[in-house]
Amino acid sequence: MTDAVCYRDAYARSVEAAVTAVETGDDGRTLVTLDRTVFYPGGGGQPADSGTIVRADGTTWTVLGARKSGGGIVHLLDAVEGPAVGDAVTATIDWERRHLLMRTHTALHTLCGVVWRDYRALVTGGNMEPGAGRMDFEFETMSGELVGEIEARVNAELAAEREVRVKILPRDEAFAIPDLIRTKINLLPPGIEEIRTIEIVGLDLQADGGTHVANTREVGQIRVTGYESKGRINKRIRIELQGPA
C-alpha cells in the first residue's frame, strides 16, 4: 500500500519515503513502489506527475511518471537501475508542472460548473495538459457567440475568488447529493465505499480524484481557443490559461 499524499494535500511537493518494491518494466526501465508519495498517478484526464527520487547518499533518479498498481503507486524511472527495497528516499514532484495542472483542472471544473448551471449540459469527455484542456458537452448546436458567452462567465467565476474544498464522503452520503456525477457515463468503480468530492463553493460540486488549487484566484483567466462538433449532440470546447496565477 502507498500513502498517496496528493489526495489530501495537493500542495505537498516532497515527502520522505521508503522503497517497498522494485521491478523492471517491459522497456527495461525500473519501476519503484514507495510506502508514501506526493506523485499523482494520473486519472480522470489529468496526467501523472513527473519529478525525482533521491536516495540518502545523493543518488538521483528522474521519475517520468506514476500509475496505480493494486494498492500501491508505481514510479517509472528513466533508468535501468534504481534504488533497492528498503532504501530511504525523498520523492519530489516537478512543482511548476503540477501547479499548472492544478490550475488547469480547476479551470475545467469551473467551465463544467458554468455549463451545467446555465445550460444543463452533461460532460461526455475531457482531457488536459499543463496549461490547456478540453471538455466535451451534450450540446446540439454551438456558435462563436455561445462560446464567447461561456468564456466570459467562466472568467467571472474565476475572478470571484471562490474557495475550492476537497472532501471524502461515505458512498451513501455522496450519492445523496444531486448532480454529483456530471459525466454522461458514471465512471466511479462499482462498490467503492468512499467518494472524493471537489467543491467550488457557490458554483460546482462533483466527484473527482484529481489535484486542484485552493481558490479560483490561483487559476487566473482562461481563453476559449476553439470549439468543434464531435457528433450530433457532442460539442468540444478547448481552453488555455492566460497569464500567471
pLDDT at 193: 78
Does residue 200 surpass a pLDDT of 60? yes
Instruction: Answer yes or no: do 106 and 89 share one domain.
Output: no
User: What is the rounded CA–CA span in Å between residue 208 and residue 102?
Assistant: 13
Higher pLDDT, 95 or 196: 95
Same-domain status, 154 and 219: yes
Q: What is the pLDDT of residue 50?
A: 98
- Looking at the structure, do residues 33 and 118 belong to the same domain, yes or no? no
- Of 49 and 44, the one with more pLDDT: 49
Q: Residue 180 above 80 pLDDT?
A: no
- Among residues 35, 65, 93, the one where a domain terminates is 93
The structure's pTM equals 0.92
* Best CA proximity match to 110, nearest among 124, 123, 93: 123
> DSSP letter at 142?
-
Are 113 and 80 part of one and the same domain?
no
Please give the pLDDT value at position 243. Answer: 79
Q: Where are the beta strands (DSSP E) in 70-122?
A: 72-77, 88-93
Report residue 186's pLDDT band, with 50, 70 and 90 as the boundaries: low
Residue finishing a domain among 93, 114, 133: 93
Mean pLDDT of the chain: 93
Q: Are residues 84 and 119 both part of a single domain?
A: no
d(CA 133, CA 101): 10
Tens of pLDDT, residues 215-237: 999 999 999 999 999 988 999 99
52 shares its domain with 126:
no
- Quick check: 55 and 92 in contact, CB under 8 A? no
Q: Are residues 43 and 119 in the same domain?
A: no
Same domain, 151 and 232: yes
Q: Which domain holds residue 51?
A: 3-93
CA gap 39, 65 in Å, rounded: 8
Tell me: do 79 and 115 sit in the same domain.
no
Q: Which of 36, 68, 93 is the last residue of a domain?
A: 93
**Is residue 175 scored above 60 in pLDDT?**
yes
Per the structure, the count of domains in the chain is 2
In three-state secondary structure terms, 201 is coil
Residues across the chain: 245
- What grid cell was written down for 10? 495537493
Give the separation between CA 234 and CA 2, rounded to whole angstroms: 38
| Interval 100-118 mean pLDDT | 97
Residue among 143, 155, 136 at smallest CA distance from 235: 136
Question: And the C-alpha cell for 163?
Answer: 474557495
pLDDT at 20 over 70: yes
